[in-house]
Amino acid sequence: MSRSTRAAGRRAAPRASRSRHRSHRARTTSKAIGLTLLSALVPGSGLLMGGRKKLGAFVLTISVGLLLIAAYVGLTQRDSVLALAVSPRQLLIATGAVVLLGVLWIWVVVASHKLLRPVSMTYTGRLAGSMFVGLLCFGIAVPTTVAAQTVMAQRDLVGSVFQSEGNSKSATRPKVTNASDPWAKTPRLNLLLLGADDGVGRTGVRTDTVIVASIDTKTGNTALISLSRNWMRMPFPEDSPLHKVYPDGFWDPNKGNVEQPEYYLDAMYDNIPKAHPGILGQTDNEGADVVKLAASAALGLDIDYYMQVNLAGFRQIIDAVGGITVNVNYRVPIGGDYGEGPGSNTEKKPSGYIEPGPNQKLDGYHALWFARGRYGLSDPSRQERQRCTIHALVNSVNPATLVTKYQQIASAGKQLLRTDIPQEILPAFIQLGLKVKNAKVSNIDLDKNKNFPTGKNPDYTAMQEIIQKALAAQTNPVASTPTVKPTKKPTSGTTTKKPTAPKTTVTPGAAENLNDACAYNPSQTGNGN
- pLDDT, one tens digit per residue, over 466-484 is 999 999 887 665 444 343 3
**What beta strand segments (E) does 178-265 contain?**
188-197, 206-216, 222-227
Residue 215 has pLDDT above 50, yes or no: yes
DSSP strand pairing (305-310 vs 188-197): parallel
Using CA atoms, how far residue 306 sits from 211, 257, 402, in Å, is 10, 31, 24
173 phi/psi in degrees, rounded to 5: -80, 150
Angle in degrees, 0-180, between the axes of helices 78-85 and 88-116, rounded to the nearest 10: 100
Cα Dmax for the chain: 128
Residue 185 in contact with residue 170, Cβ under 8 Å? no
pLDDT digits (tens, 9 = 90+) for 183-201: 888 899 999 999 876 544 4
385 phi/psi in degrees, rounded to 5: -65, -35
Q: How far apart are CA 242 and CA 248, in angstroms?
A: 11
Contacts of residue 486, Cβ cutoff 8 Å, sequence gap at least 6: none
Average pLDDT over residues 217-244: 93
Q: What is the pLDDT of residue 333?
A: 92
Average pLDDT over residues 330-342: 76
At residue 500 the predicted structure's pLDDT band, cuts being 50, 70 and 90, is: very low
The residue with greater pLDDT, 386 or 104, is 104
Residue 218 in contact with residue 255, Cβ under 8 Å? no
Average pLDDT over residues 499-511: 48
Cβ-count burial 110-129 (b if 16+ within 10 Å, e if not):
bbbbebbbbeeeeeebeebb
Residue 334 in contact with residue 388, Cβ under 8 Å? no
| Encoded amino acid at 191, one letter | L
For the chain, domain boundaries: 29-161, 188-475
In terms of CATH architecture, what is 188-475? 3-Layer(aba) Sandwich (3.40)
Average pLDDT over residues 246-271: 93
Residue 364 in contact with residue 323, Cβ under 8 Å? yes
Report the SS3 class of residue 320.
helix
Residue 227 has pLDDT above 90, yes or no: yes
At residue 410 the predicted structure's pLDDT band, cuts being 50, 70 and 90, is: confident
Q: How far apart are CA 33 and CA 459, in angstroms?
A: 78
Residue 250 has pLDDT above 60, yes or no: yes
Residue 498 has pLDDT above 60, yes or no: no
Q: What is the pLDDT of residue 476?
A: 63
Task: Kindly tell me the sign of the dihedral angle through the C-alpha atoms of 264, 267, 269, 270.
Answer: negative
Report the SS3 class of residue 368.
helix
User: What string of DSSP letters covers 432-464?
Assistant: HHHHHHTS-EEEE---HHHH-SSSSS--HHHHH
Q: How far apart are CA 230 and CA 449, in angstroms?
A: 15
Q: Give 76-84's long-range contacts (Cβ < 8 A, gap of 24+).
A: 79/427, 79/431, 82/426, 82/427, 82/430, 82/431, 83/427
**Percentage above 70 pLDDT, the chain:** 81
Report the SS3 class of residue 394.
helix
Q: What is the pLDDT of residue 192?
A: 95
Residue 517 in contact with residue 380, Cβ under 8 Å? no
Using CA atoms, how far residue 358 sits from 256, 266, 526, in Å, is 46, 31, 16
Lowest mean pLDDT among 70-84, 173-187, 352-366, 369-383: 70-84
pTM (two decimals): 0.69
Give the residue among 332, 419, 385, 375 at the shortest CA–CA distance from 518.
385
Tell me the average pLDDT of the chain: 82
How many Cβ atoms are within 10 Å of 430's Cβ, its own excluded? 16
Average pLDDT over residues 275-284: 94
Average pLDDT over residues 315-327: 86
Average pLDDT over residues 2-25: 51
Q: How far apart are CA 297 and CA 283, in angstroms?
A: 20
DSSP strand pairing (332-334 vs 441-444): unpaired
Give the residue among 36, 183, 182, 189 at the shortest CA–CA distance from 106.
36
Residue 494 has pLDDT above 50, yes or no: no
Q: Is 116 left (phi over 0), alpha (psi -120 to 50) or beta?
A: alpha
Residue 442, beta-bridge partner list: 223, 513
pLDDT digits (tens, 9 = 90+) for 69-87: 888 887 887 767 777 777 8
Residue 223, beta-bridge partner list: 214, 442
pLDDT digits (tens, 9 = 90+) for 18-65: 444 555 666 688 888 898 999 999 999 989 888 889 999 999 999 999
Q: What is the pLDDT of residue 470?
A: 92
Q: What is the pLDDT of residue 488?
A: 39
